[in-house]
């Protein structure tokens, strides 16, 4: 008889935990997974999947308006039904959650739908039943939760990104607090669905850390969509009134809205997990500290995904969980490569990016060449829209290697995924130039962009 009941116990059935459990079972390990909410985690239930569905919904308004330029006539203005969208979204995530559970069971993973907490290096307690399960290895994959900040009077009247998907009534006036990708995505979605949106943030522009050219371009586009951007402004209080929620702001102004969305960040969901019982190290943000093998300082306990606060993206959690199971039970030695991860911000217009920004490149490389273009996409010509696309290629000026590509416009995320392959293969700007263009397309600009727009030489420190 084995010393342990299971070889791998996974706490949290999100994308990373589910993948780890399935792969471990595929290697012949006995795996158990516990989830206190719904199987699928943040991405499937209250994150990227429902958000992308709402993004699609938000873009139809523009499509209807622009269709007239292509000869379409509509007898009456289209109407939007918020409740129908919410119900359709719920049906889809319920379907996906069921698929996740079915795939776990098919792989031979035991699924327990209750909360689990760590009792010891090899022990997990199921809180509802009180059952203690012994495990050779424990994996923590509980993700992160929204942070409701700043702490101000009336904060209880606000909601987080967890609740925004299921509002009973569509907010005609929405205040969004935060300037990161979650905040700007929801600002973009609700503005295009018909809400009057005000977004407020501490910085001087949205999306700190992204390519500066794209930040400016997206800010301009959001303004054209009617999003009021309040830079350097945060709420001081929220008061519930007969007219709605009254926000008093740090610049001494006031606005009244129907709903306030707090999107100022997320924090690893580690409280109450029992980590302190076994001495698992966490950082000041509460994230579990792991090495390149996703191992904690306790050899039998591991962590993947947002709970480590390393690279908080679903595909990263999936890769981490997959390779961890391969190493623990399949004899593999491969580790996760965090370079050149493609990312997208699903605003309208969309932002797709892979590799270094210009600012990052100039800190590291002695010579950085920039190739940049702004143009009106073909669809905008007949529709009469003010849409613009921006593309920027960042190149090592000494060896011609492409360090980063950044795109603002339709299908930017799709392009970033494919560009990531090229950059991982070490593509040079000459390879882009030698590639035949696909015409007519927006993406052809990436291979016809021949004229350098800037060269930056780094000042070398004196010896």
Q: What is the CATH number of the domain that holds 449?
A: 3.30.390.30
pLDDT at position 138: 98
351 within domain boundaries: yes
Q: How far apart are CA 271 and CA 196, in angstroms?
A: 36
Q: 161 and 129 in one domain?
A: no
One domain for residues 258 and 128: no
Contact 367, 396 (CB under 8 A): yes
Residues 99 and 243 in one domain: no
Mean pLDDT of the chain: 96
Residues 118 and 161 in one domain: no
Of 211, 238, 264, the position where a domain reaches its end is 264
Residue 336 lies in a domain: no
Question: Would you state the pLDDT for residue 1?
Answer: 42
* Contacts of residue 457, Cβ cutoff 8 Å, sequence gap at least 6: 366, 367
Domain boundary among 278, 297, 330: 330
Among 407, 319, 321, 403, which Cα is nearest to 356's?
403
pLDDT given at position 385: 87
Task: Identify the pLDDT of residue 192.
Answer: 97
Domain assignment present for 164:
yes
CA distance 115 to 20: 18
Task: Report if residue 338 sits inside a domain.
Answer: no
Residue 166 lies in a domain: yes
> Could you list the residue range(s) of the whole structural domain that residue 73 is in?
6-145+267-330
Q: Is the pLDDT of residue 134 over 50?
A: yes
**What crossing angle do the helices spanning 48-67 and 82-107 adopt, rounded to 10°?**
140
134 and 22 assigned to the same domain: yes
Per residue in 224-274, pLDDT (tens digit) is: 999 999 999 999 999 999 999 999 999 999 999 999 999 999 999 999 999
- Residue 335 falls inside a structural domain: no
Burial of 171 (0-12, 13-18, 19+ CB in 10 A): buried
Count structural domains, the chain. Answer: 3
**What pTM did the predictor assign?**
0.95
Average pLDDT (421-435) is: 98
Shared domain for 289 and 141, answered yes or no, is yes
Res 77 pLDDT > 90: no
Q: Using the 8-state DSSP alphabet, how is residue 200 labeled?
A: E
Looking at residue 149, its pLDDT comes to 87
Residue 337 lies in a domain: no
Cα 176 to Cα 178: distance, rounded to the nearest angstrom: 6
Same-domain status, 139 and 10: yes
Same domain as 320, residue 237: no
Q: Which residues are catalytic?
A: 439
Give the model confidence (pLDDT) of 283-310 as tens digits: 999 999 999 999 999 999 999 999 999 9
> Are residues 406 and 301 part of one domain?
no
Q: How far apart are CA 262 and CA 237, in angstroms?
A: 13
pLDDT band at 111 (very low <50, low <70, confident <90, very high): very high
Same domain, 47 and 96: yes
Q: Is residue 121 part of a domain?
A: yes
Q: What is the pLDDT of residues 148-197, one digit of tens each?
A: 988 999 999 999 999 999 999 999 999 999 999 999 999 999 999 999 99
259 and 312 co-located in one domain: no
**Six token digits for residue 193:** 């669905």
| Domain CATH code at residue 311 | 3.50.50.60
Of the three residues 303, 330, 357, the one that is the final residue of a domain is: 330
Q: Residue 98: what pLDDT?
A: 97
Q: Are 197 and 242 contained in the same domain? A: yes
């Amino acid at each position: 008889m084995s010393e342990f009941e299971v070889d791998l116990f996974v706490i949290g059935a999100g994308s990373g935990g589910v993948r780890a459990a399935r792969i471990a079972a595929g290697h012949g390990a006995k795996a158990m997974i516990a989830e206190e909410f719904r199987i699928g985690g943040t991405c499937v239930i209250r994150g990227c999947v429902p958000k992308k569905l709402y993004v699609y919904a938000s873009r139809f308004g523009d499509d209807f308006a622009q269709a007239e330029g292509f000869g379409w006539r509509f007898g009456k203005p289209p109407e939007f039904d918020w409740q129908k969208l919410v119900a359709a979204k719920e049906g889809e995530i319920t379907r996906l959650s069921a698929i996740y559970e079915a795939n776990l069971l098919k792989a031979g993973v035991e699924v327990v739908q209750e909360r689990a907490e760590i009792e010891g290096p090899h022990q997990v307690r199921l809180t509802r039943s009180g059952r203690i399960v012994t495990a050779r290895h424990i994996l923590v994959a509980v993700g992160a939760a929204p942070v409701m900040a700043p702490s101000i009077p009336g904060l209880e009247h606000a909601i987080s990104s967890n609740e925004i998907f299921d509002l009973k009534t569509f907010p005609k006036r929405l205040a969004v607090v935060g300037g990161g990708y979650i905040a700007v995505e929801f600002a973009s979605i609700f503005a295009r669905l018909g809400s009057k949106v005000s977004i407020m943030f501490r910085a001087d522009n949205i999306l700190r850390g992204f390519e500066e050219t794209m930040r400016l371009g997206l800010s301009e586009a959001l303004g054209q969509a009617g999003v009021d951007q309040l830079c350097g402004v945060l709420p001081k209080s929220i008061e519930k009134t007969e007219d709605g929620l009254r926000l008093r702001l740090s610049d001494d102004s006031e606005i009244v809205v129907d709903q306030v969305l707090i999107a100022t960040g997320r924090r690893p969901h580690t409280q109450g997990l029992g980590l302190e019982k076994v001495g698992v190290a966490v950082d000041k943000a509460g994230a579990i500290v792991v090495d390149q093998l996703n191992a904690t300082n306790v050899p039998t306990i591991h962590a993947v995904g947002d709970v480590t606060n390393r690279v908080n993206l679903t595909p990263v959690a999936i890769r981490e969980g997959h390779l961890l199971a391969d190493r623990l039970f399949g004899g593999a030695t491969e580790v996760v490569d965090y370079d050149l991860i493609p990312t997208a911000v699903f605003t309208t217009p969309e932002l797709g990016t892979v590799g270094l920004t210009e600012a990052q490149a100039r800190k590291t490389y002695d010579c950085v060449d920039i190739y940049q273009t702004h143009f009106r996409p073909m669809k905008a010509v007949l529709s009469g829209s003010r849409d613009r696309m921006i593309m920027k290629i960042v190149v090592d000026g000494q060896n011609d290697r492409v360090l980063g590509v950044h795109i603002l416009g339709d299908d930017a995320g799709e392009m970033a995924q494919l560009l990531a392959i090229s950059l991982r293969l070490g593509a040079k700007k000459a390879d882009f130039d030698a590639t035949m263009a696909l015409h007519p397309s927006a993406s052809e600009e990436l291979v016809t962009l021949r004229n350098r727009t800037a060269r930056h030489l780094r000042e070398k420190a004196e010896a």
